[in-house]
Structure 1
Amino acid sequence: MRNNLSKITLLFVIGTIIYSCSLVKRVPESKKLLVKNEIYINDKINKEERINNLLVQQPNTKFLNYPFGLTLYNIAKPNPDSSYQAWLNKKPNRINRLNRFLSAKQVERLGKSFFVSGLSKFIKETGEAPVIIDEKKAQRSKDRLSGFYYNNGFIRNKVTLSIDSIDKKKGKISYKVNTGKPYFIDSISKFIETPIVDSLYALEAKKSFIKKGEQYNFSNFDNERKRITQYLRNNGVYHFQESNIKYDAIIDDSIQKIKVNLKIEDRLVKKGDTLIKKPFGVYKITQVNIFTNNTSKKERNQFNDSVTYRNFNIYSAGKLKYKPKAITNAIFIEKGKLFSDNDRTLTSKSLSNLKVFNYPNIEYIEDPADSTNSSLIANIYLMSKPKYVWQPSIDVTTSDIQQFGISGRMAFTWRNLFKRAETFELSTKGNIGSSRDLANPNNVFFNISEYGLEGKLSFPRIVFPLNTRKIIKKEMLPTTTATIGLTSQRNIGLDKENLTGIFYYNWAPKQGNTIRFDLLNIQFIKNLNPENYFNVYTSSYNTLNNLAQLYNVDPDYLDDNNNLTTQGAVDFINDVENGVITFPSDDNNYKIIRSIGERRLRLIENNLIVSSSITFFKNTKANLLDNNFYSIRTKIESAGNLLSLFANTKNEPLSANGNKTMFGIEYSQYIKGEVDFIKHWDFGKKNTLAMRAFAGLAVPYGNGQSIPFSRSYFSGGSNDNRGWQAYSLGPGRSGGINDFNEANLKLAYSLEYRFRVGGNFYSAFFTDIGNIWNIFDNVTNKEYTFNGLNSLEDLAVGTGIGFRYDFDFFVFRLDLGYKAYDPSREIGERWLKGINFGKTVLNFGINYPF
């Protein structure tokens, strides 16, 4: 034992020495690797992320407290090209020997190959260069700390820094901040030269960000500049800019008070070689000119067609291709209104929303005909997008049923279809594939085919019999979309047709908020040959037939060769599920037979769903780089009510389940609601905490006893609970014995801490909690159903680690999931029994799960 302990200690010491030396491998002799920053605020160490992020230099990124990126960088050869040349010239005959097998050019190219120099370059670019302590950058960090506290009211703060060695070629930087006492706003006065600006300011003075008695904060002054500028420019003061606002501050150190004087002087105008002062004026719009089909500024005055519509002048370089109302409805800059930046922004968004123009160019010029110099002419320049667009695409696919497939799509787009900026898209798609499960007597490789046709018509307005403008204003950028699609699938016997149709509205009540209202959503799925299922999926039939030989099967289920008939296979499954044929508790064949039966029912299921829904979505994300935001999506859907009215007027026979039918198919009737909430916290240094919470419930009623498979919930998979594969978790504590486990209630919660490892490599620790249950439907088994708060014990917990590589335009993701708490196990065996490498669930994905 002592020998082993001494060996372990020796290995630990050697490893520590190697580790310590390797980190400074690329650090020059006279330099130091930055391994630590320390910030002391009033003699107390401060570890706030926002303060630490002010420092210009940060130590190398660490993964599990190990600088993985730096190690990668150190592994790479610093100059692989030079190393290759040195290796060639090390022995005189080496080049001659290589030239016998390769040409001189090939020998030269070998040095630039991936394995000789490319690998080192890739590792070097992926890793992180050592952060060398730079005194100039340290001084900049010191100034930034001082500036930060100054901007937050600590006017007389003092900052010192020191650079200390902590090991060979390693060092740390310590910053000590003495904030001093905070300074407060004592009084606020104003001096505004232009009377009209003074009057406008007085109307909104109470909304000022700068308030007497509050601690000085530079951001309040910055926000007040923006507020005043936006307010004035949205009320006609065309020439006003943020730079016209100045503040004079008188600091009294004896009482730590600041007197603030707001100054807005008249604008400076160049007249000849001199600058003169001129009062600001309030401008009105006297003309709105719209130029379409222009390709350059030279053509702006070359127009062959023009029309005046509702005080808008519309010009075209060729024949006008748009109905005037279609364009003017999207314009908020109007004759007689005051100049407004908001109107210009709304006009740009609205014209872009038409999807028939490139981003518009809007400019204002002073009206030369106005002697009072208080009028503007607005010129709007529009460049049309191509009227016709053809977009072909091709993909290679794979799935559990289709092992290999090739799919293609061609989309034809017509813009401005009815000359009111409508967009019509007609797309066709086709797929051929190969499946081992299908009957294939002629040994044809591609034994699956599918084709479809879809039409989509979009209107940049609300299309409705009643006037909705008072409720949904044009500022909300409303659109109406109608789609209809037909898909036909041929599987050499098991044929399916799918008809879909959607008529919906979209609008944005305010920035970051959108609402979608599906007035009508139709899905009609019909299997043409369900009785041919086991002739098509022969592997399922063979498995079932082999199992039937082991049990006491009704002879009527068998043919003359003692094999199951296709109908006998169905009857055999029914006997197993109904308990006519019993199994020992440890017999896995029951699960196999049940899964085959469940898979068959799902694949031959006919559906008729006619629903309406409304979805509200709010997202506070400011831009692509914003990692401190939240989003919430809520949806309510109702199905079957319209069909129920029609069914009462028709005399169609009831289904075998005693339910009403339309076109010979049971229609679904249910109400469904769900909430999806996502929140991100940005901790800086590419570290983010992401959280997602989801709750959804679908309740069948009337003609429905269960929820259609396409509208039900499942759990597991790369974007859900990653400790389980998709469809393999639940319902409840049942253990996921079906191929497609689904239910009508779902609860889910995920927490993920994302951090940078080095270069473009990122990682994450995650925990996923959730499950699905049956409730208020035709399932009664308590292992599957939600039975009050006690059923929260069925919440499964998956945890693990993720690895990601950022390719800039997308993120490739690999998550290793483990079952931390498995509700399908016995109570004493649920925790941590699924955490080992042999039970790893691999989840591949593109981009982040939420």
Structure 2
Amino acid sequence: MKKIQTYFKYLFASGLASATLSCSNTKYLKEGQMLYTGAEINIKNDSLSKQEEKDLKAALESNLTPKPNSTFLGLRPRLFFYNIAKEPKKEKGFNYWLKNKVGEKPVLLGDVDREFNKDIIQNYSENKGYFNAKATYDTVSKDKRAKVIYNVSPGARYLISDVRFLKDSTIINKEIQTLTDKTFLKKSNPFDLDVIKAERDRIDNGLKEKGFYYFSPDNIIVQADSTISKKHKVELIVKLKDNTPALATEQFSIDKVIVFPNYNIRDVKDGKYNVPMNADSLQKYAHEDIYVIDPEHKFKPKIFDRALYFKKGDLYNRTNHNLTLNRLISLGVFKFVKNQFVVSDSLQHKFDAYYLLTPRQIQSLRLEALGRTNSANYAGSELNLNWTHRNFFRGAEQFKASIYGAFDVQIGGPENANNIFRAGANAQLSIPRLVAPFRFNSSSAFVPRTNIILGYEFQNRTQNYTLNTFNASFGYVWKENARKEHDLKVIDITYVSPANVTPEYQAKADANIYLQRVVDKQLIFGPIYSYTYTNTMLQKPNTIYYKGTLDLAGNLTGLLMGANVDKGKQKNIFGIPFSQFAKIENDFRFYHKFTEKTSLATRAIAGVAYPYGNSDHIPFSRQFFSGGSNSVRAFRARTLGPGSFDPRTLTPGEFFDQSGDIKLELNAEYRANLYKFLNVAVFADAGNVWLVNEDPKRPGAKFSKEFLSEIAVGAGFGLRLDFSILILRLDLAMPLRVPYYEKNERWTFDRIKFGDPSWRKDNLILNIAIGYPF
């Protein structure tokens, strides 16, 4: 009974607040003004189906102007803020922000042009085949509020009785006739002006593939004849306009292909490109009919042979036109890519294809310095020196080299803390083709690449050990299209050599095999393949991102050598046991855009790594981790898990990073823009990591049927400062479910104490990061 009374109290309070807020918006209106609350469409037609009526009504409402003030749960909070804010004296300050950025100016009935909207309704209806559409309107007002009701009588919708493509003996008409089998105009379908426009574009695209470079959709006319005997039927006649330019009806082929790889925009004079048009003076590339103007020989001509899809004698087509431009851009060495076709023989209908390429800065040197802190009481800095050469062997090869140094020092916490110092160097050569014993022809707009990477890192954990890590890889990256990317490292080798292991750490490692594995020599080699699909670049309300990764280490070698650690047959290479495992990870993200300023982002991660053959565990560097600024943010980085293992059992100063062989994680984040660069978010994270095999030193770490009860949950809110060149993110989170508490006490709602300083210190985790978490 008490709960019911409480419910009614909240209900009454909500209703009172709603009524108060609603009334407060109209009291600011001047005499004679009325707040416009929107339009209502009434369809009067018995012949329409419910779905047709619903679609027509929604389309008509979306075309009406203006839109009423935005609402939330039946209220108009933005209008309320506009009304209560004082009139600002300047275009800045709090009042200006509250009134014009948070608030929203009232939309009045006087702002509505009802005759204009009536015309929109009738015109739109006619464009959709309701040729006899009529509309009227009424205005309904009460308590200084008004809405407009539009009554629409669309009449019967006209259907297509027949579609005729007029024939003649011209070349262009013959090509149009070959495109008719895929027409969008179908018998018995409703007349629709948007479909007719799409049909004109379809024919234009088809003709562009057949050499008609100068053709335009405006050269096509679709005539509608409604005078045929059948009632509410219309015949469509598709033909060329009588005034179509002669040039648009001719097929053009490629004569010469001329490339200017050192073109500069300053060479433009009087709106024309100041380039030599006499191809006889140009140097011809012997392998193909390509002329390259490169007196200083900065580029090997062969790169243009691979990128250009037009050759002498080819019939022009739009696909190869766009493909060539995209491939030139994806080489990464040209800042601007321009294309021009110049008629060279009007009688034979030939033109020369000119490619005007402006190079990017070939070499660049960049120094980066940054400071950072994290929730594990570490503060540090990092310095990076990066050198890039974008044309290393004159074939658009990109060479990147960097050296870096970093340190992380624990501020607070136990004495003799394990500070971390890192230094290293790496180099990458990216070749714009597949270097392979086989020939690979790609019709993608993106140039495939061969990547060769070498790297070394020195890491010193004071009071513990030093690690020397060497890495090398060779592989390929290629894209099927803008959405699908493949990354195959044919071989990826990592060698970890420990040094200077302190007696204190070794004593701990002797009692804990998990700590010993960190300082064991490690040799990991094998292929790694990842596949990425994304359509987040599209302007759609719903978009997705997926990345799947497969890591196979030592599999073939272990099979050939008969490795089996369980039977005492562990094999070595150069005296070092090599790792053998299979690892798969899936990262799926879904984004939903509510409005231009609000969206929902979600992510699901599932991964498993399984050791076998020559290994009974996954190398530490290839395991999964949880917690931190891009994971479950209510827990410090790499402290969550595995399973229900309780990290509080560790002695002060003991190795703190926790890892697992299995990972599950779910994230959800509601994002909204408040003001220009200021964005806010409310988020919830859930997840954990587990081990495949039992670890006596970490009870509860193994994956079992109880895994759902070991999921950690956290929530919080954040600020994002979007400065275009970077996004500074501050997320404040707290745990809602802690997996290492007693099983029936893991939810922590009853222990939240914002007023308790010690609780805030232990439970409020501040994450500072660059960019979005996902």
Structure 2 length as normaliser, TM-score? 0.81
Aligned with 2:608 (options 694, 697, 720): 697
Q: Which residue is 1:333 aligned to?
A: 310
| Alignment check: 8 A CA contact 1:166 1:172 kept | no
The alignment status of 1:487 with 2:457, answered yes or no, reads yes
5+ long unaligned stretches in structure 2: 651-655, 755-762
Q: Deviation digits for residues 335-375 of structure 1, max 9, x if unmatched?
A: 1110011111111111112222222111111113x533x21
Q: Deviation digits for residues 42-85 of structure 1, max 9, x if unmatched?
A: 5999799877654443344456665454455445442335xxxx
Amino acid at match of 1:747: L
Alpha-carbon offset, residue 149 of structure 1: 4.8
Counterpart Cα distance in 1 of 2:596 and 2:64: 11
| Alignment check: 8 A CA contact 2:290 2:311 kept | no
Counterpart Cα distance in 1 of 2:587 and 2:685: 15
Task: Pick which of 495-504 and 42-51 moved more.
Answer: 42-51
Task: Pick which of 125-134 and 681-690 moved more.
Answer: 681-690
Counterpart Cα distance in 1 of 2:125 and 2:674: 31
Amino acid at match of 1:526: S
SS of match in other structure, 2:492 = strand
Q: Which residue is 1:239 aligned to?
A: 214
SS of match in other structure, 1:697 = strand
Matches within 5 A, 1:234-313: 234-251=209-226, 255-265=231-241, 268-269=244-245, 280-295=249-264, 296-297=267-268, 299-301=274-276, 306-313=283-290
Counterpart Cα distance in 1 of 2:733 and 2:377: 26
SS of match in other structure, 2:352 = strand
Q: Which residue is 2:436 aligned to?
A: 464
Alpha-carbon offset, residue 176 of structure 1: 4.7
Counterpart Cα distance in 2 of 1:837 and 1:54: 51
Q: Which residue is 2:653 aligned to?
A: none
| Alignment check: 8 A CA contact 2:141 2:147 kept | yes
Q: Which residue is 1:430 aligned to?
A: 405
Aligned with 2:393 (options 403, 407, 418): 418
| Alignment check: 8 A CA contact 1:49 1:684 kept | no
Counterpart Cα distance in 2 of 1:10 and 1:266: 72
Matches within 5 A, 1:346-385: 346-368=323-345, 371-372=347-348, 374-385=349-360
Amino acid at match of 1:258: V
| Alignment check: 8 A CA contact 1:161 1:173 kept | yes
Aligned with 1:529 (options 500, 505, 510): 500
SS of match in other structure, 1:343 = helix
Alpha-carbon offset, residue 740 of structure 1: 3.6
Q: Which residue is 2:535 aligned to?
A: 620
The alignment status of 1:680 with 2:591, answered yes or no, reads yes
Counterpart Cα distance in 2 of 1:201 and 1:161: 46
Amino acid at match of 1:501: A
Counterpart Cα distance in 2 of 1:481 and 1:729: 35
Counterpart Cα distance in 2 of 1:385 and 1:467: 29
Task: Pick which of 719-728 and 693-702 moved more.
Answer: 719-728
Residues 846, 260 of structure 1: CA spacing in aligned structure 2 closer, same or farther, 3 A cutoff?
A: farther
Q: Which residue is 1:640 aligned to?
A: 554
The alignment status of 1:80 with 2:89, answered yes or no, reads yes
| Alignment check: 8 A CA contact 2:660 2:689 kept | yes
Q: Which residue is 1:121 aligned to?
A: 96
Counterpart Cα distance in 2 of 1:67 and 1:329: 59
Task: Pick which of 237-246 and 628-637 moved more.
Answer: 628-637
Counterpart Cα distance in 2 of 1:179 and 1:825: 67
| Alignment check: 8 A CA contact 1:655 1:666 kept | no
Alpha-carbon offset, residue 661 of structure 1: 4.2
Counterpart Cα distance in 1 of 2:395 and 2:35: 65
Q: Which residue is 2:760 aligned to?
A: none
SS of match in other structure, 1:703 = coil
Alpha-carbon offset, residue 669 of structure 1: 1.5
| Alignment check: 8 A CA contact 1:192 1:264 kept | no
Alpha-carbon offset, residue 201 of structure 1: 2.3
Alpha-carbon offset, residue 780 of structure 1: 11
SS of match in other structure, 1:428 = strand
Amino acid at match of 1:328: D
Amino acid at match of 1:259: E
Q: Which residue is 2:581 aligned to?
A: 670
| Alignment check: 8 A CA contact 2:307 2:328 kept | yes
Q: Deviation digits for residues 123-181 of structure 1, max 9, x if unmatched?
A: 4453133232265555465555555555544444445455544444x444445545544
Residues 474, 396 of structure 1: CA spacing in aligned structure 2 closer, same or farther, 3 A cutoff?
A: same
Residues 685, 267 of structure 1: CA spacing in aligned structure 2 closer, same or farther, 3 A cutoff?
A: same
The alignment status of 1:744 with 2:637, answered yes or no, reads no
Counterpart Cα distance in 2 of 1:525 and 1:247: 71
Matches within 5 A, 1:584-595: none
SS of match in other structure, 1:466 = coil
Q: Which residue is 1:450 aligned to?
A: 422
Aligned with 1:58 (options 33, 57, 67): 67
Alpha-carbon offset, residue 436 of structure 1: 4.3
Amino acid at match of 1:619: T
Q: Which residue is 1:501 aligned to?
A: 472
The alignment status of 1:323 with 2:238, answered yes or no, reads no
Residues 522, 160 of structure 1: CA spacing in aligned structure 2 closer, same or farther, 3 A cutoff?
A: farther
Matches within 5 A, 1:182-261: 182-191=157-166, 195-251=170-226, 255-261=231-237
Q: Which residue is 1:590 aligned to?
A: none
Residues 841, 120 of structure 1: CA spacing in aligned structure 2 closer, same or farther, 3 A cutoff?
A: same
Alpha-carbon offset, residue 506 of structure 1: 1.1
Amino acid at match of 1:636: L
| Alignment check: 8 A CA contact 1:126 1:759 kept | no
Counterpart Cα distance in 1 of 2:611 and 2:751: 38
| Alignment check: 8 A CA contact 2:375 2:766 kept | no
| Alignment check: 8 A CA contact 1:617 1:633 kept | yes
Amino acid at match of 1:489: Q
Q: Which residue is 2:362 aligned to?
A: 387
Q: Which residue is 2:758 aligned to?
A: none
Aligned identity (percent) is 26
Q: Which residue is 1:133 aligned to?
A: 108
Amino acid at match of 1:348: L
SS of match in other structure, 2:304 = helix
| Alignment check: 8 A CA contact 1:306 1:315 kept | yes
SS of match in other structure, 1:300 = coil
Residues 619, 434 of structure 1: CA spacing in aligned structure 2 closer, same or farther, 3 A cutoff?
A: closer
Q: Which residue is 2:623 aligned to?
A: 712
Number of equivalences: 736
| Alignment check: 8 A CA contact 1:353 1:477 kept | yes
Counterpart Cα distance in 2 of 1:151 and 1:832: 60
Amino acid at match of 1:79: P
SS of match in other structure, 1:398 = strand
Q: Which residue is 1:87 aligned to?
A: none
Counterpart Cα distance in 1 of 2:321 and 2:391: 23
